[in-house]
Amino acid sequence: MNPSICEGDPYRESTKIVWNCILKWGKENLRNYPWRDDFNNIYNLLIAEVMLHRTRADQVKPVYEFFIKKYPDFKSIANSDQEDIIKDLYPLGLIWRSSQLHKMAKEIQEKYDGIIPKDLDKIIELPGVGPYIASAMMCFAHDEKIAVLDTNIVRVISRIFGMKSGDSSRKSKKFKSVMIDLISYGEPRKFTLSFIDFAALICRPSNPRCDNCSLKDICDYYLQKI
In this prediction, what percent of the chain has a pLDDT beyond 90?
88
More confident site: 10 or 35: 35
> What tens digit of pLDDT does each residue of 146-181 get?
999 999 999 999 999 999 998 888 889 999 999 999
Where residue 7 falls among pLDDT bands split at 50, 70, 90?
low
Among 39-48, 135-144, 163-172, where is mean pLDDT lowest?
163-172
**Domain residue ranges of the chain, discontinuous segments joined by +:** 3-30+147-225, 40-142
Q: For the domain 40-142, what is the CATH code? A: 1.10.340.30
Q: Which residues contact 126 (CB under 8 A, 6 or more apart)?
A: 104, 107, 108, 134
Q: For the domain 3-30+147-225, what is the CATH code? A: 1.10.1670.10
What value, to the nearest 5°, has the Cα angle with vertex 35 and ends 29 and 36? 35
Rg (C-alpha) for the chain, rounded Å, is 19
Average pLDDT over residues 44-70: 95
Signed CA dihedral, 178, 181, 185, 191: sign only: positive
Where residue 225 falls among pLDDT bands split at 50, 70, 90?
confident
